[in-house]
């Protein structure tokens, strides 16, 4: 093994030449040196209450006479890349809106950057989107740590961080006035599931959760919601997202034998867990969140698995046959096949992206002035419903309410027909097809 401590001399000669040219080039190239802490002065604009504490505020950044440029940073590759397919839904909706003239004649230009679910890359992407692409705001940043990594800078620079794709309650804090999340929080979902547990008559509940903030938020909310009731929480086990099998956890929970079990999992771990529970012979009341029971995941259930599982819903899942005649879903499918045919229309995430696009356009149209503060105000004083949401679901924000969607629909899985049926949250009885009855919202 040869180890040369200094690069060979031919390299060093080349290095000198390159460096010399670079230095001279930079100095002479007319690039003005950036020296000194010069920043443009803060501008009040409308909505001075939003911009009072900005370090520097550019009201119309990203907006020209003909376009509104928005950016997003999502996992296109790497872990959670399936969730990154929201970009197809967003793109398709914006393409459709642009084709009919856009917003006041301005086309929406979506710039997508891949962060592979790495918050360090999210930070780099957002910096680039703001400084190089000069976007108006961020849409649909995905992942709790990813949003948390960029939230303070966006807050400081008064850049809208709209409709983030995370259910973590921590991103919806009152002091983060420039961030508005989209998804119902994990706590809201878990509270609804706790209600379902009570309604089902369970006396003991155990939990299996992902070993991250998502899992912890669910389990904490469940614990809180069941405090003071006569339901006890027995075993709480976790698993690592990266580990392939969860058999030992299921074995332990089955041996513990609680009446109900909360499954705070995502993706294909869900059917894995339900199939495992089914195989173990233990028959608890199964409780899981919306992302655990998309039709694609339901199709992976073994026969008989997941019977009477109760989960949550807040949008019309495109893979659910109940919505195949629904006009909102049909419009969505038509637009997808025209503008982003490479996307899978049955993927729930793609529909979420479409829904997000619809929400953003509503915010733009509701803004009193088409600038950052104006749109932010619209997002903070919103009362919206778009047609891909279930009946009754509303996105509402005000001075005291920072979690926009806080009521959800409970649904039960019927193993024979392999479909989800909506249930009444108070009585746990099936509702007639097409009817919804949401769990009560929690005002905070």
Partner 1 sequence: MLSYACLVLTLGILPLFFEPFRVSQFTQILIIALAVTGLNLLTGFTGQISVGHAAFFGFGAYATAVLMANTDLAIPLSIAAGTAIGAAIGMLVGLPSLRIKGTALAIVTLVFGASFPSLVNLFPEVTGGTQGMRVRKISAPDWLPLASDQVRYYVALVVLLVIALLVSAISRSRTGRELKALGDNETAAVTYGVNAPLLRVAVFTISAAITALAGGLFVVTTGFISSTTSYVTILGSIVFLTALVIGGRTILLGPLLGSVLVELLPTQLGHHSPELAHLGYGLILIVILLIAPGGLTGLDMANMKSALKSIASRPVFFPLSSSTSPSIKKDPS
Partner 2 sequence: MLVIQLLVDGFGKGVIYASLALAIVVCHRSTGLINFAQGEFATLSAMLTVVLTASGIPVWISLALSVAASFGAGALVQKAVVRPALGRAHVVQIAITIGLFICANALGNLLFGPTPRPVDGLFPLGGITAGEIRISWSLIGVVILQALVITALTLFFSRTKTGLGFRAVALAPVASRFVGIPVERMHMLGWGIASALGAVAGVSLTNLGVYVEPSMMTPVLVFSLAAVTVGGFDSAVGAIVGGVVMGVVETLATSYVPGLSGDAGMLVSLIIIVAILIVRPQGIFGRNRVSRV
Interface contacts to partner 2, rule CB under 8 A? 1, 77, 79, 81-82, 84, 211, 237-249, 251-252, 255, 267-268, 272, 275-276, 279-281, 296, 300, 302-303, 344, 347
Residue 248 binding partner 1, by CB under 8 A: no
Contact 306, 298 (CB under 8 A): yes
- CA dist 312 and 221 (Å) reads 15
Residue 86 or 158: the one with the smaller Cβ distance to partner 2 is 86
Give the residue among 80, 156, 161, 93 at the shortest CA–CA distance from 125: 161
Return the SS3 of 193: helix
Q: How many helices (H) and strands (E) does the chain have?
A: 13, 14
Q: Which stretch binds partner 1 (CB under 8 A): 9-17, 293-301, 314-322, 324-332?
A: 9-17
DSSP code, position 211: S
Helix (H), strand (E), coil (C) string for 262-326: EEECCCCHHHHHHHHHHHHCCCCEEEECHHHCCHHHHCCCCCCCCCCCEEEECECCCCCHHHCCC
- CA dist 199 and 426 (Å) reads 7
Beta carbon of residue 439, minimum distance to partner 1 (angstroms, whole number): 26
Residue 76 binding partner 1, by CB under 8 A: yes
Residue 143 binding partner 1, by CB under 8 A: yes
64 binds, among partner 2, partner 1, none (CB under 5 to 8 A by kind): none
Neighbour tally for 228: CB within 10 Å? 7
Q: Which stretch binds partner 1 (CB under 8 A): 117-125, 157-165, 245-253, 348-356?
A: 117-125
Residue 3 binding partner 1, by CB under 8 A: yes
Residue 120 binding partner 1, by CB under 8 A: yes
Give the residue among 68, 67, 43, 65 at the shortest CA–CA distance from 56: 43
- CA dist 189 and 172 (Å) reads 15
Residue of 97, 149, 219, 261 that binds partner 1 (CB under 8 A): 149
Q: Which stretch binds partner 1 (CB under 8 A): 128-136, 271-279, 309-317, 431-439?
A: 128-136
Beta carbon of residue 327, minimum distance to partner 1 (angstroms, whole number): 35
DSSP strand E in 150-292: where?
161-164, 179-181, 204-210, 232-239, 260-264, 285-288
The per-residue b/e assignment along 240-250, b for 16 or more CB within 10 angstroms, e otherwise, is eeeeeebeebb
- CA dist 288 and 270 (Å) reads 9
327 binds, among partner 2, partner 1, none (CB under 5 to 8 A by kind): none
Residue 22 binding partner 1, by CB under 8 A: yes
Neighbour tally for 79: CB within 10 Å? 15
Contact 106, 67 (CB under 8 A): yes
Residue of 83, 86, 108, 130 that binds partner 1 (CB under 8 A): 130
In the Cβ-directed half-sphere of 298, how many Cα atoms lie within 13 Å? 28
- CA dist 405 and 300 (Å) reads 29
Residue 42 or 124: the one with the smaller Cβ distance to partner 1 is 124
Residue 69 or 121: the one with the smaller Cβ distance to partner 1 is 121
Residue 181 or 306: the one with the smaller Cβ distance to partner 1 is 181
Residue 240 binding partner 1, by CB under 8 A: yes
Residue 214 or 315: the one with the smaller Cβ distance to partner 1 is 214
Residue 150 or 329: the one with the smaller Cβ distance to partner 1 is 150
Beta carbon of residue 290, minimum distance to partner 2 (angstroms, whole number): 18
**Region of 267 on the Ramachandran plot (φ > 0 left; ψ -120 to 50 alpha; else beta):** left
Residue 245 binding partner 1, by CB under 8 A: no
Beta carbon of residue 112, minimum distance to partner 2 (angstroms, whole number): 15
**Widest CA span of the chain, in angstroms?**
82
272 binds, among partner 2, partner 1, none (CB under 5 to 8 A by kind): partner 2
Residue 213 binding partner 1, by CB under 8 A: yes
15 binds, among partner 2, partner 1, none (CB under 5 to 8 A by kind): partner 1
Contact 138, 111 (CB under 8 A): no
**Contact pattern from residue 163 through residue 182 relative to partner 1, giving x for each residue in contact according to CB under 8 A and a dash for the rest:** -----x-x------------
Residue of 46, 200, 211, 419 that binds partner 1 (CB under 8 A): 211
245 binds, among partner 1, partner 2, none (CB under 5 to 8 A by kind): partner 2
Site for partner 1 in 215-234 (CB under 8 A): 216
Residue 44 or 296: the one with the smaller Cβ distance to partner 2 is 296
Backbone phi, psi, residue 281, to 5°: 90, -10
Binding site for partner 1 (CB under 8 A): 1-8, 10-13, 15-16, 19-20, 22-23, 26-27, 31, 33-37, 76-77, 114, 116-121, 123-124, 127-128, 130-132, 143-145, 148-149, 152, 168, 170, 211-214, 216, 240
């Amino acid at each position: 093994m040869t180890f040369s401590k200094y690069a060979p001399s031919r390299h060093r000669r080349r290095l000198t030449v390159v460096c010399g040219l670079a230095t001279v080039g930079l100095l002479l190239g007319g690039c003005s040196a950036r020296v000194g802490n010069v920043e443009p002065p803060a501008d009040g604009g409308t909505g001075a209450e939003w911009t009072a504490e900005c370090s520097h505020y550019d009201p119309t950044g990203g907006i020209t006479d003909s376009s509104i440029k928005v950016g997003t940073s999502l996992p296109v590759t790497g872990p959670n890349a399936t969730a990154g397919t929201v970009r197809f839904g967003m793109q398709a909706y914006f393409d459709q809106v642009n084709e009919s003239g856009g917003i006041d004649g301005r086309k929406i230009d979506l710039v997508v950057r891949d962060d592979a679910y790495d918050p360090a890359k999210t930070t780099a992407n957002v910096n680039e989107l703001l400084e190089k692409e000069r976007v108006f705001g961020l849409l649909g940043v995905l992942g709790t740590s990813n949003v948390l990594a960029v939230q303070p800078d966006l807050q400081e620079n008064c850049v809208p961080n709209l409709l983030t794709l995370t259910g973590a309650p921590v991103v919806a804090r009152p002091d983060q006035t420039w961030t508005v999340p989209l998804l119902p929080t994990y706590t809201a979902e878990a509270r609804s599931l706790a209600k379902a547990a009570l309604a089902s008559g369970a006396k003991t509940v155990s939990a299996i959760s992902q070993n991250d903030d998502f899992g912890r938020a669910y389990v904490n909310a469940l614990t809180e919601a069941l405090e003071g009731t006569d339901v006890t929480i027995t075993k709480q086990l976790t698993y690592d997202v990266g580990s392939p099998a969860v058999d030992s956890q299921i074995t332990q929970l089955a041996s513990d034998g609680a009446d109900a079990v909360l499954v705070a999992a995502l993706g294909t771990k869900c059917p894995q867990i339900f199939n495992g529970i089914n195989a173990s012979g233990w028959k608890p009341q199964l409780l899981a969140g919306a992302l655990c029971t998309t039709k694609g995941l339901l199709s992976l259930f073994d026969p008989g698995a997941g019977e009477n599982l109760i989960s949550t819903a807040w949008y019309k899942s495109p893979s659910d046959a109940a919505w195949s005649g629904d006009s909102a879903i049909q419009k969505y499918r038509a637009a997808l096949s025209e503008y982003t045919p490479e996307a899978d229309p049955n993927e729930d995430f793609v529909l979420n992206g479409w829904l997000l696009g619809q929400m953003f356009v509503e915010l733009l149209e509701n803004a009193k002035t088409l600038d950052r503060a104006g749109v932010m105000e619209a997002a903070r004083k919103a009362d919206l419903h778009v047609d891909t949401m279930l009946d009754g679901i509303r996105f509402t924000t005000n001075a005291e309410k920072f979690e926009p969607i806080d009521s959800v629909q409970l649904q039960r899985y019927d193993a024979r027909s392999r479909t989800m049926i909506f249930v009444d949250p108070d009585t746990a009885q099936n509702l007639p097809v097409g009817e919804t009855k949401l769990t009560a919202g929690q005002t905070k």
